[in-house]
Structure 1
Amino acid sequence: MPAAGSVRLPRSSPKTVFAYAYVCAYIADTSIRVSDEAKQRLDLYKREDESYEDVILRLTERDKWAGFGLLSETDTDTRDAMNGIRAEMRETVDSDIGELE
C-alpha cells in the first residue's frame, strides 16, 4: 500500500515526470518623502507623459543637454557643434565689449 500523500502510477503509464517551478520576481523600489514645496517644484518640470522618477532622473542627468527638447536625443557631434557655437558667440561678445572700452 502506498504511503499517505503519494500517488501510485499504473504500470502501463509512461515514466516521464514533469516538474513545475514557481518563480517570483520582486522589483526593488525605494520610497522617499518630499515636502509639499519639493513636490510643487517637481510638478513644474514634470511633463505629461513622465513619472516623478523620470523627472528626477532627467533633472539629475550629468549630460547638460539632456532634457532640452531636440538636443536631448542627439549624438555627440551635434552637442560638440553647439558648444562650438556658444564659444564663438562668447568671443564675439568679448570682442565687442573690448571695442567699447
Structure 2
Amino acid sequence: MVGAAATSAEHAKRRKYENLDSSFIFVPFGVETLGPWGPEARALFKELSKRVIESTADPSAGSYLGQRISLVIKRGNAASILGTVPRCGGFENVLDFI
C-alpha cells in the first residue's frame, strides 16, 4: 500500500514524543524514500503552503516550499547512500556537488 511506511513512521513518532510538554505543537512528518508523504505531513504542508501564499501574495510560493522540502529529502537520501560506500577514494567531493 502506497504511503503505509510514512503513515507507520508518523504513528511511531507520535508515540515516541507523546510525553512532550503541551506547550509544544508536535506534528510527525513521515516521508517515504521514494516520495509518498504520510497524512499528517500532507496536512501540515497544505496548511504551511496556504499561510506562505497568504503572507507573500505569490500563488507559486506553496509549490516552491514543496520543491525545497523535496530537495532536502533527496539530499538526505543521497547522504545516507553515500554513507554506506566505503571511503576508497573518488566520492569525497560528491556531497559538495549534491
Alignment TM-score > 0.5, same fold: no
Higher relative contact order structure (alpha carbons within 8 Å, sequence separation ≥ 6): 2
Structure having the higher Rg:
1
TM score, norm. by length of structure 2: 0.30
Compare the two structures and name the one with the higher helix fraction. 2
TM score, norm. by length of structure 1: 0.30
